[in-house]
């Protein structure tokens, strides 16, 4: 485990400097970009190593896995929810999750609104866009965004903070460009709600930042390849 912790330290330093470099290229400061550690399948010991390195944000995919691990995390780092979310699990997130990235339907936004009201809070969310139009992926089509933004805008206990996407694996930057364009276009008419563009993972975080992302979600480049056999 000590060796693995050292690897996380080395990875963290490398990625943080990659983020700083990409930020500079796009005229921003490193602190303008949030660096999220994606923790799925990762031992909490290694998550805590990333926290010691200075990680700003944790990203959780599965409600059950997170519930089993969260008490082992060193306190003080905000947690975002980034995975596919069933409406009946929303209640477990209330008051504990800074931002839900994966809202892709009105029925889910309505359940978040209902639960947030129950807990006396307003929940920040992102709308997930399926920028590659892949049938296998969640997220709305870009053409559906204005309607969903308008609908979600009627919910008093939900605040839209921006957009999230998981582009298809691709050797060029066409999807990053398309998402940047969509985000900027939406921001023109809706600057209040278009603050966060959550885009970029292990393989494309630098390119994503150069295309306007200000939140990158990094898993395997930080923690190593995931071993799904150890989790449910």
Ligand X SMILES: *Cc1c(COP(=O)(O)O)cnc(C)c1O
List residues binding ligand X (CB under 6 A).
38, 40, 61, 82-83, 166, 201-202, 217-221
Closest contact distance (angstroms) between CB of 103 and ligand X is: 13
Supply 164's token pair: 């999230």
Cβ nearer to ligand X, comparing 153 with 224: 224
Residue nearest ligand X by beta-carbon distance: 219
Cβ nearer to ligand X, comparing 38 with 148: 38
Closest contact distance (angstroms) between CB of 83 and ligand X is: 6
Cβ nearer to ligand X, comparing 11 with 155: 11
Closest contact distance (angstroms) between CB of 221 and ligand X is: 6
Cβ nearer to ligand X, comparing 61 with 115: 61
Closest contact distance (angstroms) between CB of 77 and ligand X is: 17
Closest contact distance (angstroms) between CB of 164 and ligand X is: 8
Nearest to 77 by CA among 87, 69, 85: 69
Q: Burial level of 16, CB count in 10 A (0-12/13-18/19+)?
A: middle
User: How many CA atoms lie within 13 Å of 214's alpha carbon, on the beta-carbon side?
Assistant: 15
Closest contact distance (angstroms) between CB of 7 and ligand X is: 15
Nearest to 126 by CA among 75, 175, 171, 162: 162
Cβ nearer to ligand X, comparing 115 with 198: 198
Cβ nearer to ligand X, comparing 109 with 166: 166
Report long-range pairs for 222-229 (Cβ below 8 Å, ≥24 apart). Answer: 222/8, 222/11, 222/12, 222/15, 222/37, 222/38, 222/50, 223/8, 223/11, 223/37, 223/39, 223/42, 223/46, 223/50, 224/4, 224/7, 224/11, 226/40, 226/41, 226/42, 227/41, 228/41
């Amino acid at each position: 485990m000590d060796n693995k912790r050292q690897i996380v330290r080395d990875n963290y330093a490398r990625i943080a400097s990659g983020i700083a470099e990409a930020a500079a290229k796009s005229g921003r400061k490193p602190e303008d970009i949030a660096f999220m550690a994606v923790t799925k399948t990762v031992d909490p010991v290694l998550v805590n190593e990333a926290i010691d390195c200075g990680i700003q944000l944790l990203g959780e995919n599965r409600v059950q896995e997170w519930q089993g691990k969260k008490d082992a995390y060193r306190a003080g780092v905000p947690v975002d929810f980034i995975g596919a979310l069933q409406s009946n699990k929303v209640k477990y997130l209330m008051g504990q999750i800074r931002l839900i990235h994966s809202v892709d339907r009105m029925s889910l936004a309505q359940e978040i609104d209902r639960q947030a009201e129950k807990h006396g809070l307003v929940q920040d969310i992102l709308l997930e866009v399926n920028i590659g139009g892949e049938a296998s992926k969640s997220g709305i089509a870009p053409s559906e965004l204005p309607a969903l933004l308008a609908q979600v805008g009627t919910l008093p206990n939900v605040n839209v903070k921006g957009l999230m996407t998981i582009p298809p694996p691709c050797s060029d930057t066409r999807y990053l460009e398309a998402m940047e364009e969509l985000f900027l276009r939406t921001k023109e008419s809706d600057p209040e709600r278009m603050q966060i563009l959550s885009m970029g993972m292990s393989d494309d975080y630098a390119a994503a930042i150069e295309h306007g992302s200000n939140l990158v979600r990094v898993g395997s480049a930080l923690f190593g390849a995931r071993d799904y056999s150890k989790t449910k």
